[in-house]
């Protein structure tokens, strides 16, 4: 019998306890031993839980229990999750977490401690919820040089955009519905401003390229400024707007990493990933594109990934799994003004023809984009790919247009 402990009995933690209880036989068959949930840390009481007698409010009960070999961290947030995880790893316990904020902020340090202690620090559930993505990149695709990862990494914003695209809802109405259905994080800002997707693309980039990429180095835009008009223009262009986390390897020392809403063409594999689903494309030099799709959030999908890590940790109690990346100073991140993309511009001009003329003078070849029933003075065009700094400078010089929206064109 192997003893484990769970820190945090919220949505994901209670899902982990539930699966360990309901899938006991299945898991026994996989490991050849019973998993004993010895402690659950939470400040609340859960008298109806089958593990009601295992609850504690003192994390020291877990840290000091030498029988506990694997600790699950599903508290979320940075503190005290970081301190608890660090202490558990430092005393040789393996730790499994769903906490992307923790991994994105402290992954390199916690992986190094795990390595020193010959323990495991696993976090499959931190990206893509129930979708296998960490293990596939780390193991199944290990023979590849990965050149690019791009994905829809946040279910809440994908739900909101889907409602805007297919049901004509406005942003506020769709966000309210997402909150009513319980999709949004405690603080919806993390979802709608792109911070959650940013943490996830940082974890994938760190894993694929071997150096920790910290979220503060990544240019991040959310979806709060996307309007119904932008959605209609994307449709007329032949695509949809999606919040994309993207990282590309430009050369051996440089990556271009960003989180932003983008126009995604209808023929892209990411265009039809709707509602709360996530989709992640990994481009390997041997495999070509591999796409992962499934439920990126929710109690049991996320808990399923956590339980898989518990099983993996138990199977590797004596021989550590190789999962690691070096710390870094973010110097490999391309300064985002140098990032090159085509841009969609929507605005209002008193004299649309003259405005398009000015835009051509500055940007060269532009594609004028129309939509049905556009207001008389509305104009919209798409530039050729150019560096953001150059784009912004030209926008400053652009006369006769009041710019309303600027959205990147995703080459996906
Ligand atoms: N709020 C997140 C999402 C949960 O909507 O994707 C999973 O990280």
- Give the position, in ligand 1's atom list, of the atom nearest the Cα of 197: 6
pTM of the complete model: 0.97
Closest CA to 412 of 246, 237, 218: 246
The residue nearest atom 1 of ligand 1, judged by CA position, is: 185
185 pocket-lining for ligand 1 (C-beta < 6 Å):
yes
Q: What is the pLDDT of residue 181?
A: 84
Q: What is the pLDDT of residues 193-206, one digit of tens each?
A: 999 999 999 999 99
- Mean pLDDT estimate for the chain: 96
Distance 35 CA to ligand 1 centre (A): 28
Q: What percent of the chain has pLDDT over 70?
A: 99
Question: In angstroms, what is the span from residue 293 Cα to ligand 1's centroid?
Answer: 14
Cβ(183) – ligand 1 distance below 6 Å:
yes
Distance 297 CA to ligand 1 centre (A): 5
Instruction: Return the ligand 1 atom nearest residue 302 CA.
Output: 7
Rounded distance from Cα 76 to ligand 1 centre (Å): 12
Tell how far the Cα of 117 is from the centroid of ligand 1, in angstroms.
Answer: 31
Give per-residue pLDDT as tens, 236-277. 999 999 999 999 999 999 999 999 999 999 999 999 999 999
pLDDT, mean of residues 77-98: 98
Write the CATH number of the domain with boundaries 134-295. Answer: 3.30.360.10
User: Could you tell me if the CB of 154 is within 6 A of ligand 1?
Assistant: yes
Give me ligand 1 centre to Cα 311, in Å. Answer: 24
From the candidates 38, 163, 200, 394, which is the catalytic residue? 200
Does the beta carbon of 155 sit less than 6 angstroms from any atom of ligand 1? yes
Residue 186 has pLDDT above 80, yes or no: no
Atom of ligand 1 nearest to the CA of 278: 6
The whole-number average pLDDT for the span 119-133 is 97
- CB-CB contact of 340 with 52 (8 Å): no
Report the nearest-CA residue for atom 4 of ligand 1.
297
Q: Can you spell out the DSSP letters for 246-308?
A: EEEEEETTEEEEEEEEEEEETTSTTTT--TTEEEEEEEETTTEEEEEEEE-SSHHHHHHHHHH
Is the C-beta atom of 292 inside 6 A of ligand 1?
A: no
Mean pLDDT in residue range 311-325 = 91
Residue 316 pLDDT level (bands cut at 50, 70, 90): very high
Alpha carbon dihedral 359, 362, 368, 369, in 10-degree steps, equals -80
87 lines ligand 1 (CB under 6 A): no
CA 185 to ligand 1 centroid distance, Å: 6
Q: Where are the domains of the chain?
A: 2-130+300-315, 134-295, 339-409
Beta strands in 98-159, from DSSP E residues, in sequence order: 121-122, 146-152
3-state secondary structure of 319: coil
Q: What is the mean pLDDT of residues 371-379?
A: 96
394 is catalytic: no
Of the pLDDT bands very low, low, confident and very high (cuts 50, 70, 90), residue 348 is very high
Q: Ligand 1 atom closest to Cα of 157?
A: 5
Q: Helices 155-167 and 171-180: crossing angle, nearest 10°?
A: 130
Determine whether the shortest distance from the Cβ of 191 to ligand 1 is under 6 A: yes
Burial of 282 (0-12, 13-18, 19+ CB in 10 A): buried
- pLDDT for res 320: 81
Architecture per CATH, domain 339-409, reads as: 2-Layer Sandwich (3.30)
Q: What's the pLDDT at 355?
A: 97
CA-proximal residue: ligand 1, atom 7 (nearest)? 297
For 2-130+300-315, which CATH class? alpha beta
Q: Is the CB of 156 under 6 A from ligand 1?
A: yes
């Amino acid at each position: 019998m192997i003893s484990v402990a769970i820190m945090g009995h919220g949505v994901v933690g209670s899902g982990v306890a539930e699966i360990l209880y309901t899938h006991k036989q299945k898991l026994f068959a996989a490991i050849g031993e019973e998993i004993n949930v010895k402690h659950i840390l939470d400040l609340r009481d859960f008298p109806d839980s089958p593990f009601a007698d295992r609850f504690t409010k003192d994390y020291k009960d877990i840290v000091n229990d030498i029988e506990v070999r694997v600790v699950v961290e599903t508290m979320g947030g940075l503190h005290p999750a970081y301190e608890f995880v660090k202490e558990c790893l430092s005393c040789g316990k393996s730790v499994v977490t769903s906490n992307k904020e923790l991994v994105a902020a402290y992954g390199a340090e916690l992986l190094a401690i795990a390595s020193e202690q010959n323990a495991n620090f696993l976090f499959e559930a931190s990206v893509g919820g129930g979708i296998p993505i960490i293990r596939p990149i780390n193991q199944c695709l290990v023979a590849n040089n990965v050149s690019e990862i791009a994905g829809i990494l946040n279910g809440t914003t994908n739900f909101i955009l889907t409602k805007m695209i297919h049901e004509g809802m406005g942003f506020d109405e769709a966000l309210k519905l997402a909150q009513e259905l319980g999709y949004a994080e405690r603080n919806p800002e993390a979802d709608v401003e792109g911070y959650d997707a940013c943490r996830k693309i940082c974890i994938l980039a760190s894993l694929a390229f071997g150096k920790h990429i910290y979220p503060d180095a990544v240019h991040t835009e959310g979806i709060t400024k996307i309007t119904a008009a932008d959605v209609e223009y994307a449709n007329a262009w032949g695509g949809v707007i999606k919040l994309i986390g993207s990282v590309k390897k430009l050369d051996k020392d440089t990556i271009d990493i960003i989180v932003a809403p983008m126009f995604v063409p209808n023929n892209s594999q990411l265009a039809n990933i709707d509602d709360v689903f996530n989709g992640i494309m990994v481009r390997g030099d041997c495999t070509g594109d591999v796409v992962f799709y499934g439920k990126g959030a929710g109690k049991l999908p996320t808990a399923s990934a956590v339980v898989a890590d518990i099983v993996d940790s138990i199977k590797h109690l004596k021989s550590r799994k190789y999962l690691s990346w070096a710390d870094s100073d973010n110097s490999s991140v391309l300064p985002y003004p140098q990032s090159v993309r085509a841009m969609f511009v929507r605005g209002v001009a008193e004299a649309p023809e003259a405005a398009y003329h000015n835009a051509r003078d500055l940007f060269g070849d532009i594609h004028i984009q129309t939509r049905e029933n556009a207001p008389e003075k509305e104009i919209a065009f798409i530039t050729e790919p150019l560096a953001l700094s150059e784009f912004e400078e030209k926008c400053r010089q652009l006369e006769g247009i009041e710019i309303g929206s600027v959205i990147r064109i995703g080459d996906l």
